[in-house]
Amino acid sequence: MIPETAILTAICLPLAGALAIAVAGRISPNLREATTLLTAAALIWVVWGLLPTLMAGGRPAVEVSEVMPGLTIAFRVEPLGMLFAALASGLWLINSVYSIGYMRGNKEKNQTRFYVCFALALAATMGVAFAGNLFTLFLFYEVLTLSTYPLVSHKGDEATVRSARVYLGVLLCTSIGLFLPAIIWTYMAAGTGDFVHGGILAGKLEGPAIGLLLGLFVFGIGKAAVMPVHRWLPAAMVAPTPVSALLHAVAVVKAGVFAITKIIVYVFGIDFLFATPSSGWLLYMAAFTIITASLVALRQTNIKRLLAYSTIAQLSYVVMAAATLKPLAEVGAAIHMVAHAFGKITLFFAAGAIYVASKKTEIHQLRGIGRRMPWTMTAFTIGALSMIGVPPTAGFVSKWYILAGAFEAENLVAVFTIIASTVLNAAYFLPILYMAWFEREEAGAKAHGEAPFAAVLALCITALLTLAFFLFNGPVIELESQVVRALPL
Amino acid sequence: MLSAPLIVLLQPRGLAWAGATAAGLASFAIAIALAMAVLDGQTQVYAMGGWAAPYGIALEVDAFSALVLLLVTGAGAAALLAARVSVDRQIEPERQPLFYAAWLLGLAGLAGIVVSADAFNIFVFMEISSLASYILIAGGPDRRALPAVFKYLIMGTIGATFYLIGVGLIYMMTGTLNLADMQARIGDVVALNPILVAAGFITIGLALKAAVFPLHVWLPNAYTHAPHMVTVFLAACATKVALYVLIRFDSMVFQDRLSDHEFQFTLFALPLAVLGILVASSVAMFEGHLKRLLATSSVAQIGYILLGASFVSEAGITASAMHMFNHALAKGGLFLAVACLAFHFRDLRLSELGGAARRMPLTCAALVVCGLSLIGVPGTAGFISKWLLITAALESGLWGWSLVAVILVSSLMAVVYIWRIVEALYFQQASAEGDTSFAEAPLQLLLVTWAVALLNIFFGLFPHLPLALANGSAALLVGGAP
């Protein structure tokens, strides 16, 4: 397929899929699920087909419409976006397999709406990944927020709707109240919003204004959950687990950190920001978020809430790495998106599988569960180790790069934060593992086995991916190195 | 070509729906043709009765009037096309011909205001359209419409009288009623005081008609209790036509000629616009009745239009004209969807609308699309005008940033009130006794609703046509020579 067509297909395919799913849902659930899987597989084929072009240094671009002079809807594939799109599309397929097991195992209502919205969210994710300028990015960012609302409020009872309102409120308020003004300011200052290698703002702004603009961007992109705009993430945990897994470990939050990284690299330009003292606060803010979120995670008793706070901390790893403003750290930021995605989706899958099989949601209930659900808990262990950053898991690779970047920048705060949070991660994950494997189950507990096969299969695949990424990460690193090397964007 | 208003004028006795719709569509087609011609750079002038411009009654279509004419006739045609089924339920058969006749008169009046190049004729057409709309609003089965319409009548008449006094004063001083002529002659007037008084009268009178905050009190009730289709039509274009005259009068006749007028106009319009936006939005946030909520939001949207105009810059007028167009699309679509909902929900309070999305999924989806456009989510028409408005605000200098804040805050308020509707439709439990069967609105109504909803998206992605017209009108009004 020609790369230009492939970009548009990648966005339209899930849209068409959503329609087909809606129609198929009226006929039979089996047909609906088959459509979902087929769409997901086709999307992988399309998106991954773009990889060779990117590796060869190509930057396919396509312009859809010029809304106003200077304001265009345009797409342009570059390594960061390519990685994000490849990741999201790949995990969508695995997640769909898992969803089928989870939704059927739980006998959830409104399953058609669930699959339709999921496909819509994926279309928006593709749009975010391939966006060629700030305006297009913003457009799909909002679509992503709106299309995930029905997913978060899926259960429909009062508590769920209240949490979903927090989710929507925080994300919309920050994006309209801060992100949009930042975009307008950028357009006014630079005359363009295109993502250009080396940035577009150099020489256009100076002094404290840069720090302020950066702040508008970082807090405006609420999806990145940098404190204090992180409240929506724990709130969104009321969603069904597949939603938490794909959206709150992969698509939505990653769209946030991806957007921040992209803006730092392609709008500000890392050299420009490094020379600007007023932008230094971002790194400290991210470091603060990492430590605080880890501390809060220590005190959680609900599995999904613990994972949510762990996600907040891990997202700020990416932001901190991006804010370190050194080539190695930027690569680390990109790799950490992948590593964290594999690890966290495994953890969420495992949490969901435990819920389906035993209806357990609290940590203290997990005593001895390793014997009842060996496959699930093995995968959980691998995911947890990856979060801590133990070799041979994916988390080690990215931490290595981020640390290297921190040393390169000679920033002791960053180095210290990484070490401290590793200790904290270990402190909240290891007790769970100990409980699950070595403690005895309470007497009189209900007997249960593994979750449905589809769910277990999915979480085993992602656990394997977490391990595999430790060994076979060469292509990814090579691709992402292009971001910082002086290649034409 | 210029027979658009003429056809309509000749047709008021077209007794049934078919005749009315045919007339509506024909005038819409003519409006499109006119807009195309204007885009080619021509200005259509038609001298009624063959008398040359300064003396005879002239009709004139330039970019600005083409845009508004497009809007008026479009809204009229769309609402008429969809009206039959809804009107059948709300108006008893023997009064229907009269109802349609009044509708056509209203349409003719509004179109007449837009194309007329003559201050007194604007008044005449304004009276025609107002009288027709009183009839239309009161025509429904809802008795509460009567006090509402009485209020509207009083305020509308005061507005029209003020306008007439203003025009009279100007005529006294300049000896002409033709707008272009007036613009040329007003510079020669020595005694400025009468002109200033006239400007005040005209501005206040039109502001009353346009429901500019705080002269808006007639609007929410009138819209709420009118028959649904009438609300669609009036909400989409009635107040905008008054704003059109206001903007045209102020910028064409007064702007260049009176020293300090720009400053005065800004001082008058800007605070009112800002207040209107904020107050009306916050009222809408706590409103419990669907139609009244949307009507209150209209007051806020009129604030946006006025805000754009109050910058007295080319960018400002462009934003203003665009917002007229886009808001008509969004609000028209919303009220069409409300008309669909009204088929199965007798009580339109938000608390009674639970489960609507399950019964009428297509209607609700259309409502959401239009609602997003009203909020100004990117990809919809509403975003374009908000963007233009913000750009214009930033251009206006120091004040700009605080105005941007106002616009953004009110957008957030719009999110809140639209979201309350969405929650009521989608996530609220259906009331116990109501049946939950699948029951869409009649196809005819639904098709029109969706056409408007899709136009909201279309003009969000490809806004070239209205944008070209809006740019043209801005250049015309601010740029100088007519």
Domain ranges of chain B: 283-482
Question: Which chain A residue's Cα is nearest to B411?
Answer: A176
DSSP B349: B
Task: Quote the Cα angle for B204-B393-B275, to 5°.
Answer: 45
The token pair that represents B117 in the structure block: 């190049």
* Res B352 pLDDT > 80: no
Q: What is the mean pLDDT of chain B?
A: 79
Q: What is the pLDDT of residue B50?
A: 53
- Per the CB < 8 Å rule, is B408 touching A67? no
Task: Give the distance from residue A26's alpha carbon to the nearest chain B alpha carbon, in angstroms.
Answer: 14
The token pair that represents B254 in the structure block: 């007064």
User: What residues of chain B lie within 8 A of the CB of A168, using their CB?
Assistant: 419
pLDDT band at B289 (very low <50, low <70, confident <90, very high): confident
A323: nearest Cα among B452, A315, B453, B72 = A315
Q: Which of A286-295, A360-369, B25-34 has the highest mean pLDDT?
A: A286-295
* Res A345 pLDDT > 70: yes
Give the C-alpha distances (Å, rounded to integers) separating B243 from A273, B235, B246: 47, 13, 5
The token pair that represents B150 in the structure block: 């009485």
Give the closest of B377, B415, B461 to A67, CB-based: B461
- Per the document, the length of chain A is 489
- Per the CB < 8 Å rule, is B388 touching A188? no
3-state secondary structure of B151: helix
* Res B88 pLDDT > 80: no
Task: Quote the Cα angle for A238-A12-A76, to 5°.
Answer: 100
Give the closest of A67, A68, A181 to B408, CB-based: A181
How far from chain centre, in Å, is Cα B190? Answer: 37
- Per the CB < 8 Å rule, is A67 touching B404? no
Cα dihedral sign for B162, B166, B169, B171? negative
B260-269 mean pLDDT: 73
Question: Which chain B residue's Cα is nearest to A145?
Answer: B377
- CA neighbours closer than 13 Å in the CB half-sphere of residue B359: 22
A338-348 mean pLDDT: 90
Q: Amino acid identity, residue B213?
A: F
Do residues B301 and B327 touch, judged by C-beta distance below 8 A? yes
The token pair that represents A242 in the structure block: 């597949």
Nearest-angstrom CA–CA distance, A201 and A190? 6
- Per the CB < 8 Å rule, is A172 touching B394? no
The answer to whether A176 contacts chain B (CB < 8 Å) is: yes
Do residues A74 and A424 touch, judged by C-beta distance below 8 A? no
Task: Give the distance from residue B401's alpha carbon to the nearest chain A alpha carbon, in angstroms.
Answer: 10
Q: What is the pLDDT of residue A488?
A: 39
Task: Quote the Cα angle for B190-B192-B196, to 5°.
Answer: 155
Give the closest of B378, B415, B462 to A139, CB-based: B378
* Res A274 pLDDT > 50: yes
Q: What is the pLDDT of residue A381?
A: 92
Q: Tell me the CA end-to-end span of chain A in Å, nearest whole number.
A: 21
Cα dihedral sign for B438, B441, B446, B450? negative
* Res B290 pLDDT > 80: yes
3-state secondary structure of B60: strand
How far from chain centre, in Å, is Cα A226? Answer: 13
* Res B146 pLDDT > 50: yes
Nearest-angstrom CA–CA distance, B477 and A341? 56
Task: Quote the Cα angle for B280-B281-B284, to 5°.
Answer: 85
Give the closest of A67, A138, A177 to B384, CB-based: A67
Residues A103-134: b if buried by 16+ CB within 10 A, e if exposed: bbbbeeebbbbbbbbbbbbbbbbbbbbbbbbb
**Model confidence pLDDT, tens digit, residues A418-452:** 999 999 999 989 989 998 888 887 776 677 778 78
- Per the CB < 8 Å rule, is B379 touching A143? yes
* Res B321 pLDDT > 70: yes
Q: What is the pLDDT of residue B4?
A: 43
Which ipTM did the prediction report?
A: 0.70
- CA neighbours closer than 13 Å in the CB half-sphere of residue A225: 28
Instruction: Return the axis-axis angle of helices B96-115 and B17-39, rounded to nearest 10°.
Output: 10
B257-274 mean pLDDT: 74
Do residues A381 and A358 touch, judged by C-beta distance below 8 A? no
Burial class (CB in 10 A: 0-12, 13-18, 19+), B157: middle
Residue from A26, A180, A213 whose CB has the most chain B CBs within 10 Å, to mutate: A180
* Res B216 pLDDT > 60: yes
Which positions ≥6 away from B227 have C-beta within 8 Å? B86, B87, B90, B91, B136, B137, B139, B140, B141, B142
Residue A302 β-bridge partners: A362
* Res B48 pLDDT > 70: no
Do residues A91 and A345 touch, judged by C-beta distance below 8 A? yes
Max CA separation in chain B (angstroms):
73
3-state secondary structure chain A: CCHHHHHHHHHHHHHHHHHHHHHHHHHCHHHHHHHHHHHHHHHHHHHHCCHHHHHCCCCCEEEEEEEECCEEEEEECCHHHHHHHHHHHHHHHHHHHHHHHHHHHHCCCCHHHHHHHHHHHHHHHHHHHHECEHHHHHHHHHHHHHHHHHHHCCCCCHHHHHHHHHHHHHHHHHHHHHHHHHHHHHHHHHCCCECCCCCCCCCCCCCHHHHHHHHHHHHHCHHHCCCCCCCHHHHHHHCCHHHHHHHHHHHHHHHHHHHHHHHHHHHHCHHHHHCCHHHCHHHHHHHHHHHHHHHHHHCCCEHHHHHHHHHHHHHHHHHHHHHHCCHHHHHHHHHHHHHHHHHHHHHHHHHHHHHHHHCCCEHHHHCCHHHHCHHHHHHHHHHHHHHHCCCCCHHHHHHHHHHHHHHHCCCHHHHHHHHHHHHHHHHHHHHHHHHHHHCCCCCCCCCCCCCCHHHHHHHHHHHHHHHHHHHCCHHHHHHHHHHHCCCCC
- Per the document, the length of chain B is 482
The more confidently predicted of residues A56 and A35 is: A35
pLDDT band at B14 (very low <50, low <70, confident <90, very high): very low
Which positions ≥6 away from B147 have C-beta within 8 Å? B221
* Res B482 pLDDT > 80: no
**Model confidence pLDDT, tens digit, residues A12-54:** 888 898 888 888 888 888 888 888 899 999 999 888 888 888 8
A403-412 mean pLDDT: 86
3-state secondary structure of B354: coil
Question: Which chain A residue's Cα is nearest to B393?
Answer: A184
Nearest-angstrom CA–CA distance, A223 and B388? 27
A286: nearest Cα among A115, A418, A405 = A418
* Res B5 pLDDT > 50: no
Contacts A–B by Cβ distance under 8 A:
53
Do residues A219 and A309 touch, judged by C-beta distance below 8 A? no
* Res B254 pLDDT > 80: no
The token pair that represents B226 in the structure block: 């009118």
- Per the CB < 8 Å rule, is B461 touching A172? no
The token pair that represents A447 in the structure block: 């007997």
* Res B188 pLDDT > 80: no
- Per the CB < 8 Å rule, is A138 touching B378? yes
DSSP B255: T
Interface of A with B in 138-167 (CB under 8 A): 138-139, 142-143, 146, 150, 153, 156, 161, 165
- Say if strands A71-76 and B44-48 run parallel, antiparallel, or are unpaired: unpaired
Nearest-angstrom CA–CA distance, B227 and B92? 12
* Res A194 pLDDT > 70: yes
CB A58: neighbour CB atoms within 10 A? 12
Q: What is the pLDDT of residue A412?
A: 87
3-state secondary structure of B398: coil
A151-166 mean pLDDT: 83
- Per the CB < 8 Å rule, is A177 touching B419? no
DSSP line for B438-458: --PPPHHHHHHHHHHHHHHHH
* Res B131 pLDDT > 80: yes
Nearest-angstrom CA–CA distance, B228 and B448? 14
Q: What is the pLDDT of residue B42?
A: 65
* Res B176 pLDDT > 80: no
Residue from A11, A19, A23, A67 whose CB has the most chain B CBs within 10 Å, to mutate: A67
Give the C-alpha distances (Å, rounded to integers) separating A359 from A99, A355, A442, A449, A451: 16, 4, 16, 12, 11
B414-441 mean pLDDT: 74
Q: What is the pLDDT of residue A423?
A: 92
Find out whether the peptide bond into A228 is cis, omega within 30 degrees of 0: yes
Nearest-angstrom CA–CA distance, A242 and A96? 8
- Per the CB < 8 Å rule, is B462 touching A188? no
A312: nearest Cα among A295, A326, A328 = A295
Nearest-angstrom CA–CA distance, A123 and A128? 9
pLDDT band at A487 (very low <50, low <70, confident <90, very high): very low
Q: What is the pLDDT of residue B16?
A: 61
* Res A117 pLDDT > 80: yes
